[in-house]
């Protein structure tokens, strides 16, 4: 369907229903939060009774985002979340397309499969048929960019106020690594529009990147110095962080965000992996340079997915076993990693 028609059908769907529940993925990042909060503020402006529910907590460095205190965190405020979900007449899924990415909310959400759903997302592999309206595009910076286009292109540009624009810009800045990758002509076009509201770009950037604790920076130094292995044969680097590593630096949610990018600054490195021991599971983050697809690798071996150059996954095993699994599968990718 033409994008214009999809925009129209999303607006029409939002207008048709009253109790709108916006849901994003577990371990939400800047784009999950920014796109959800912007759509939430917009939906309220057009008369919906909207709520945002996320599976678990957001990173500390996003806690300043406009209206973030309105967000309901499912694993902290389960009763409230369940009540709101039971009253929903429309669900909007933002920044994910694999239902299991809603983590602790997944089982509960399955009970509402018959309620209409909207999808707005920029990951590969969306099942468009499952949605009343589906805005799924991969050649775009972020879900926030899609939400910005939705608002801007449908005659609602006067609704793009400072709070909505700030939330959207957070999503675009974080998902592009400060405009380092996944940037398209359309990204700069929409950012120019967002900047034309009275937002303070410098302040937003500083709020995201210059508010770390001392512990967070020292954890980064420790992980690079003591926990990084370079596998030259595969042009690959991996970093691991055990539970006790994180505890000794008083880990706060979001503290390892961005760590996976650092090994890519080495000229020869094509793929970087961060393996983190979390409560009961091992989380893996993958990044690559060029056309090596970490999405394929994460899908095939790590129950995950994402994009060509940025993906994630999970394993339920020990940290040692997860590292071994990565090492074991690398020969399969040797040629691609040496191209
Ligand atoms: P991160 O490494 O920052 O957690 O995730 C990188 C990218 O991969 C993000 O776009 C994220 O949405 C996607 N991603 C992360 N974890 C998963 C996962 O478990 N499954 C899928 N399908 N995508 C993931
Ligand atoms: Mn995203």
Q: What is the pLDDT of residues 300-332, one digit of tens each?
A: 999 999 999 999 999 999 999 999 999 999 999
**Ligand 2 centroid distance, CA of 175 (Å):** 6
pTM: 0.95
Angle (nearest 5°) at CA 70 between 94 and 78: 80
pLDDT of residue 41: 98
Question: What is the chain's mean pLDDT, rounded?
Answer: 97
pLDDT in tens, 261-290: 999 999 999 999 999 999 889 999 999 999
Q: Which residues of 305-316 are buried (b: 16+ CB within 10 A; e: fewer)?
A: bbbbbbbbbbbe
Q: Tell me, using a 6 A CB cutoff, whether residue 305 lines ligand 1.
A: yes
Specify whether the CB–CB gap between 297 and 284 falls below 8 A: no
CA dist., res. 303 & res. 311, Å (int): 11
State the alpha helices, DSSP H only, in the chain.
3-16, 30-45, 78-86, 106-110, 143-153, 162-175, 185-195, 201-209, 214-226, 243-248, 294-301, 319-337
Q: Is the CB of 270 under 6 A from ligand 1?
A: no
Label residue 1 by pLDDT band (50, 70, 90).
low
The rounded Å distance from CA 80 to ligand 1 centre is 27
Q: Mind listing the pLDDT tens digit for each residue in 245-266? A: 999 999 999 999 999 999 999 9
Residue nearest to atom 11 of ligand 1 (CA): 306
- Say yes or no: CB of residue 295 within 6 Å of ligand 1: no
For residue 66 and ligand 1, the question of a CB distance below 6 A is answered with no
Question: What span, in angstroms and rounded, lies between the C-alpha atoms of 234 and 81?
Answer: 45
Average pLDDT over residues 17-26: 98
Query: Which residue, judged by its Cα, is nearest atom 15 of ligand 1?
Result: 312
pLDDT of the residue at 280: 87
Q: Is the shortest distance between the CB of 314 and ligand 1 below 6 Å?
A: yes
- Name the residue of 306, 307, 315, 316 whose CB sits within 8 Å of the most ligand 1 atoms, as the mutation to test its pocket: 306
pLDDT value of residue 48 = 98
Distance 264 CA to ligand 1 centre (A): 18
Question: What is the tens place of the pLDDT at every residue in 112-139?
Answer: 999 999 999 999 988 988 999 999 999 9
Q: If you measure from the C-alpha of residue 143 to the centroid of ligand 2, how many angstroms do you get, rounded to a whole number?
A: 5
- CB proximity list for 97: less than 8 A, separation 6 or greater: 119, 121, 123, 125, 126, 127, 136
Q: Which residue's C-alpha comes closest to atom 17 of ligand 1?
A: 312
DSSP bridge partners of 287: 272, 310
- Report pLDDT digits (tens) over 163-214: 999 999 999 999 999 999 899 999 999 999 999 998 999 999 999 999 999 9
Angle value at C-alpha 16, between 13 and 19, nearest 5 degrees: 95
- Which is more confident, 17 or 126? 17
Q: Ligand 1 atom 2: the closest Cα is on which residue?
A: 285
Q: Which ligand is nearest to the CA of 34?
A: 2
CA torsion sign for 38, 40, 45, 46 is positive
Q: How far is the CA of 181 from the centre of ligand 2 (A)?
A: 13
Ligand found nearest the CA of 309:
1
Q: What is the pLDDT of residue 125?
A: 87
């Amino acid at each position: 369907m033409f994008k214009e028609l999809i925009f129209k059908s999303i607006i029409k769907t939002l207008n048709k229903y009253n109790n709108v529940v916006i849901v994003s993925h577990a371990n939400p990042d800047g784009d999950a939060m920014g796109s959800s909060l912007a759509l939430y503020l917009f939906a309220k402006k057009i008369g919906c009774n909207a709520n945002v529910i996320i599976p678990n907590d957001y990173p500390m460095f996003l806690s300043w985002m406009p209206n973030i205190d309105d967000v309901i965190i499912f694993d902290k405020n389960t009763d409230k979340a369940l009540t709101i979900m039971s009253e929903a007449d429309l669900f909007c899924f933002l920044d994910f397309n694999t239902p299991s990415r809603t983590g602790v909310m997944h089982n509960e959400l399955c009970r509402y499969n018959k309620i209409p759903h909207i999808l707005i997302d920029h990951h590969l592999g969306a099942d468009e048929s499952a949605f009343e309206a589906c805005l799924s595009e991969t050649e775009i910076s972020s879900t926030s960019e899609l939400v910005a286009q939705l608002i801007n292109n449908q005659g609602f540009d006067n609704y793009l106020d400072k709070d909505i624009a700030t939330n959207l810009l957070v999503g675009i800045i974080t998902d592009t690594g400060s405009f380092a990758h996944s940037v398209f002509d359309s990204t700069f076009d929409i950012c120019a529009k967002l900047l034309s509201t009275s937002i303070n770009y410098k302040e937003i950037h500083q709020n995201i990147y210059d508010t770390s604790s001392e512990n967070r920076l020292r954890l980064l130094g420790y992980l690079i110095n003591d926990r990084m292995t370079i596998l030259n044969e595969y042009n690959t680097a991996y970093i691991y962080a055990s539970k006790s590593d994180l505890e000794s630096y008083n880990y706060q949610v979001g503290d390892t965000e961005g760590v996976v990018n650092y090994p890519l600054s080495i000229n020869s490195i094509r793929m970087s992996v961060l393996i983190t021991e979390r409560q009961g599971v091992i989380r893996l983050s993958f990044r690559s340079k060029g056309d090596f697809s970490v999405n394929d690798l994460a899908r095939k071996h790590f129950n995950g997915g994402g994009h060509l150059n940025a993906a994630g996954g999970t394993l339920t095993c020990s940290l040692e076993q997860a590292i071994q699994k990565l090492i074991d599968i690398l020969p399969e990718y040797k040629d691609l990693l040496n191209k």
